[in-house]
Amino acid sequence: MVPRYTRPQMAAIWSPEERFRIWFEIEALAAEAMAQLGTIPADAARVIREKGGPRAAAIGPAEVEAIDAIERVTRHDVIAFLTFMAEGIGPEARFMHQGMTSSDVLDTCLAVQMTRAADLLLADLDALLMALKTRAYEHQFTPTIGRSHGIHAEPTTFGLKLAGYYAEFSRNRTRLAAARAEIATCAISGPVGTFASVDPRVEAHVAAKLGLAVEPVSTQVIPRDRHAAFFAALAVVASSIERLATEVRHLQRSEVREAEEFFHAGQKGSSSMPHKRNPVLSENLTGLARLVRSHVVPALENVALWHERDISHSSVERVIAPDATIGLDFALSRLTGMMEKLTVYPERMAENLESLGGVVHSQKVLLALTQAGMSREAAYAAVQAAAMATWQALGRPGARSFRDNLLAEPGVSTVMDGAALDAAMDPTRDFAHVRTIFDRVFAAE
């Protein structure tokens, strides 16, 4: 991922240095288990840990380059690493990696990295949920127009909108937690996964120490349906980010102006038009969502490896594992900040709500008319006619309100008078169940 969209804590998980350190930890833990089982000398495990530990801890850019140089000869990354470590550990190094195969190290390391990444993302989601909840309660009863198809429908509250996003991101948290569990497995099962040369208890030991479950059956590699499910979960989270970003972009439109991303002192919206204040954060989030989503297809294509394994998944994962988690971490963090600082304009919401002459109350009138005895079809026709007349005259001199247009419909005035219409259109009814919904969404908290 490009530096612009990278935060250091997530990037650290994916650094080559950290990768080598995790590799060593797996090898050292495996050696300790083998020593306990008597497969290798107890001293060997001790020396591997004592000499290897500091050597691994000291891996920096120069050491990475040294390992890479060995790889240019062996054309095999794990062998290069083992060779590098052996130089520091000495003869006991030959007891490292006994009966294991590269995938044991690589796939277990990836599991460690992905679970750590998932933990950061879960924390990101918690922060976002907190921000959404705070703003939702702040605006629990801030009236605003609800829109379907981009057209004014009926009143709702801005808090209700945010409660919907809260519920969606709560679901995403559940999905991400499930996805984390999917990929939190350890495999130390040797070539083609038969444990022919490594005892299953080694795997159990390493798994327990690393906080992972044991992979029930691996075919040398941890099966890639797990990873596909993980990236699919990230893609769903990304799509929810896009939905909230799209909402903000709509609210900030010049004609709507109901909310606005925070505009910093010194910020410039355009190189040519000094008047511009653009929703660039939410647009950026929209693009980041496309990026994170794009990883789901190659992750799915990675599942059907040949026979016990091929290595076609590797190049894909070298890119998408960091890119998806780093990109999503950045996006969630940006979204949280954006929502925390979002400027909300309740007066403007009220203005827009009233701007269509009252037609947004058409359903309540329709119901009242049917209850007053009109057929559904006749009531619909009358209300539609009154609404269209109101709409088309909007902003013109002498334009009649929806209420007055309704009274002008013969079918209407015979069953309801102005007072009855006013009662039917009473806006307080629109918010009667806001608390119910909030209870549903936030009660479990």
The DSSP bridge pattern shows strands 143-148 and 151-157 to be: antiparallel
Give the nearer residue to a copy of itself in terms of CB position, either 113 or 240: 240
Q: 219 by DSSP, 3-state: which?
A: strand
Q: Is residue 229 involved in binding a copy of itself (CB under 8 A)?
A: yes
**Which position has the token pair 């190049």?**
315
Would you state the structure tokens that stand for residue 415, as one six-digit string?
A: 């069953």
For 343, list phi and psi in degrees, rounded to 5: -85, 125
Of 17-25, 52-60, 81-89, 114-122, which part binds a copy of itself (CB under 8 A)? 81-89
Q: What is the smallest separation between the CB atom of 53 and a copy of itself, expressed in angstroms?
A: 19
Given 128, 132, 155, 259, the residue binding a copy of itself (CB under 8 A):
155
User: Which amino acid belongs to residue 355?
Assistant: S
Q: What is the smallest separation between the CB atom of 395 and a copy of itself, expressed in angstroms?
A: 7
Given 130, 337, 380, 408, the residue binding a copy of itself (CB under 8 A):
380
Residue 125: Cβ within 10 Å count:
22
Given 76, 134, 422, 423, the residue binding a copy of itself (CB under 8 A):
76
Residues 238-267 as x/- pattern, contact with a copy of itself by CB under 8 A: xxx-xx-xxx-xx-xxxxxx------x-xx
* Interacting positions 92-131 with a copy of itself (CB under 8 A): 93-102
DSSP 8-state symbol, 217:
S
Q: Is residue 188 involved in binding a copy of itself (CB under 8 A)?
A: no
Distance (Å, rounded) from C-alpha 27 to C-alpha 95? 10
For 337, list phi and psi in degrees, rounded to 5: -60, -40
Please give the size of the binding site for a copy of itself, defined by CB under 8 A.
176
Q: Is residue 147 involved in binding a copy of itself (CB under 8 A)?
A: yes
Of 113-121, 127-135, 381-389, 409-417, which part binds a copy of itself (CB under 8 A)? 381-389
Q: Is residue 359 involved in binding a copy of itself (CB under 8 A)?
A: yes
Give the nearer residue to a copy of itself in terms of CB position, either 55 or 257: 257
Find the helix or strand (DSSP H, E) in which 329 lies.
Answer: helix 312-341
Q: What is the smallest separation between the CB atom of 288 and a copy of itself, expressed in angstroms?
A: 5
Give the nearer residue to a copy of itself in terms of CB position, either 32 or 182: 182
Q: Is residue 343 involved in binding a copy of itself (CB under 8 A)?
A: no
Distance (Å, rounded) from C-alpha 165 to C-alpha 167? 5
Q: Nearest 5 degrees, angle CA 250-CA 256-CA 257?
A: 95
Q: What is the smallest separation between the CB atom of 133 and a copy of itself, expressed in angstroms?
A: 13
Give the nearer residue to a copy of itself in terms of CB position, either 125 or 163: 163
Distance (Å, rounded) from C-alpha 405 to C-alpha 387? 8
Q: What is the smallest separation between the CB atom of 120 and a copy of itself, expressed in angstroms?
A: 20
Residues 416-435 as x/- pattern, contact with a copy of itself by CB under 8 A: -------------xxxxxx-
Given 48, 67, 320, 335, the residue binding a copy of itself (CB under 8 A):
320
> Are 325 and 121 contacting, i.e. CB atoms less than 8 angstroms apart?
yes
Closest of 359, 379, 382 to residue 370, by C-alpha:
379
Q: What is the 3-state secondary structure (H, E, C) of 53-101?
A: HHHHHCCCHHHHHHHHHHHHHHCCHHHHHHHHHHHHHCHHHHHCCCCCC
Q: Which residues are catalytic?
A: 149, 270
Q: What is the smallest separation between the CB atom of 380 and a copy of itself, expressed in angstroms?
A: 5
